[in-house]
Every structure is written in C-alpha cells, then in structure tokens.
Amino acid sequence: MTIEYPSPSWKDYEILDSGNGFKLERFGKYVLERPEPKALWEPTLSDAEWARLAHVRFTPGAGFARAGKEDSGTWDRLKKMEDQWTVAYKGGRDANGVPGLDLTLRLGLTAFKHVGVFPEQAPNWDFIYGRTSDLVKKNSSSGLGKPRVLNLFAYTGGASLAAAAAGADVTHLDSVRQVVTWARDNMERSGLDGIRWVVEDALKFARRESRRGNLYQGIILDPPAYGHGPDGEKWKLDELLFDLLKTVASILAPKDSFLVLNLYSNGYSSALADTLVREAFKVSGDVLTSGELALRDRFGKVLPLSVFVRLVR
C-alpha cells in the first residue's frame, strides 16, 4: 500500500493545521476552517491563531454526519471574502522534466461543507494526465484516434479536465446538473473544450454502454456512499458497487487502458478496494496499485481521506 499527497508544486493549496475534528486549509488567498471527522488529534496552533487566520468557518448543522445530511451546516464569515474565487492547479514535472497538468478551478461556498474541489485527489489527476498522455502517443503511433475516457460520479471535473488536457475524448457524467455546469465552467476557465456532458445515473449509463458494446481506454469512478440519480434512482455504495465494477469491466478496453477507483466511505480499506477490483475485473499480479490519498499539514500530521485502486493494462 502507498500513501500519496498533493505535489508541493501546487502553491494555491495547503493544509495549515488539523485537529479536534477540523482542518484549516488555504485555497488561494482564502483560509477556510472545515469539519474533518478523521482529525482525531489536537491541533498544533491555538484557537486564537485559527481565528486569526481563517476567513470563514463551517459550523455543522443538527443533522451533520447522518446519512443524507453528512455535510449540512452553515458558513460563518470571519473576514471579508468573495462567494466564488479561482485557484490554479499546477502538477509536478515528470521524469523528463516536462511540466505537468495546469488547470484553473472555480471554488465557492456551497450549501454544504464542500467548495468544489477535493485537494487530496490531486495525485489521481496527475496519474490520469500522465497515463492518458501515454495512451495518446501510443494511439497516434498506431494510427488510432483519441483515447476515450469516461468519468463517472464526476463532480466538478478535476479528473475530466486532467484527461482532456492530455488529449483524450472525455465523457463526464454526474447526476446533478448544477455540478455538471460547474465542471463546464472549469473547462472553459482552463482553456479546454470538447468534453461530452451527461446528466444521468452512473449505473444505468454503464449498463447501456455495455449493451451497445462501447469501450473506453480510461474509466474513473469516485462514487459516494449514498446518492440519487436525476430520475430518483437510489445509489447505495455497499449494495451496488460490485455490480457497477463488473459492468465497468465490460466496457474497459482489454488492453492499453486504465481504471481509477476512489472511495471515501468509512470502513473501506485499500485492501478491500483492491479485492473488489481484482474480483470484478478478474485480474491478478502487479497490474493494480492501491493505497490512500492523504493530506499532511504544516506540522507533519497526516490526514488520510480516501482509498484508491488503479488498474493499468
């Protein structure tokens, strides 16, 4: 198992401190104080220092941490700040010194504790960008077209933009129209185009693609613990994840392809995620890499936030 962190080349984001169920983060020019149940230790900085640094604090609501209300609450402004702002994402250089991913992402104070980006996902973005770039070169040398990449549960599109920036033909799917619109805005701000936008239930779409015999060279999955499709379809991770993975296995190209699975649900370990992918895709050996995505604050405290599995063929 590996633990991966955002590249230090990303200057517009850092986690300043963490503890007592909260994290103190800087996104560009603003500092946010947000709940983080996994921060079980004591913070290093004093309460007064947190209050001095923070522009805004998220106060959990009465239903916080309950199914369907996990992230409910309100933002309390401590200093003047904009409702929306942008950050630049800069990935690290590759082994040959070639500059990495370069994106512009719009952030905002949503009705929940989210701001439109999950910073710990940066290593997945860099992997997607690098792997897709390799596929673009390989397809070109073989006289093939752009690699097709499908991003399910795609949210505001960091992973979609990584694939598009590398030269892929990208399909971005989410069940919430507002976040698809947000992702389109991020695409335009990043100087990209050509992404296909789909508002639909992920499992329903994957099953239809399987029936049609459509294949993708890259598939990205970041499913929530609970959710609903645009037509009221119910999603529960524990009940439907393995079915989804088996369906996705039928639409991932058998060679020159990749899968990225990310899971946030508490109780899911990287070993469990690894086994799910191995069984669904019937693979063995070293084609899989699994681990945790984490943030490390200024004082060295490591905050693990999700588990990932990557399959490379």
Q: Confirm if 25 and 32 have CB atoms less than 8 A apart.
A: yes
**pLDDT under 70 in the chain at which residues?**
62-71, 95
Count Cα neighbours of 67 within 13 Å in the Cβ-side half-sphere: 9
Rounded CA-CA distance 222/256 in Å is 21
pLDDT for 71: 65
pLDDT of residue 221: 98
- Domain-wise residue ranges, the chain: 2-312
Three-state SS at 224: coil
Pairing relationship of beta strands 169-174 and 226-228 according to DSSP bridges: unpaired
What integer pLDDT is reported at residue 213 of this predicted model?
97
> Which has the closest alpha carbon to 215: 256, 272, 244, 269?
256
Cβ pair 144, 167 in contact under 8 A: no
Render pLDDT for 293-312 as a digit per residue (tens, 0 to 9).
999 999 999 999 999 999 99
pLDDT recorded at residue 99: 77
Q: Which amino acid is at 133?
A: S
**Quick one: pLDDT at residue 89?**
97
pLDDT at 69: 52
What pTM did the predictor assign? Answer: 0.94
Q: Cα separation of 85 and 249, whole Å? A: 38
Tell me what pLDDT residue 106 has.
Answer: 98
CA distance 1 to 6: 17
Q: Give the pLDDT confidence of 12-56 residue by residue, as tens digits.
A: 999 999 999 999 999 999 999 999 999 999 999 999 999 999 999
Distance separating alpha carbons of residues 216 and 185, to the nearest angstrom = 25
Per-residue pLDDT at 67 = 52
CB 197, CB 189: distance < 8 Å: no
CATH code of the domain occupying 2-312: 3.40.50.150
Tokens of 39: 């921060």
Helix (H, G, I), strand (E, B) or coil at 250: coil
Measured CA to CA in angstroms, residue 290 lies from 101, 153, 241, 249 at distances of 22, 20, 17, 17
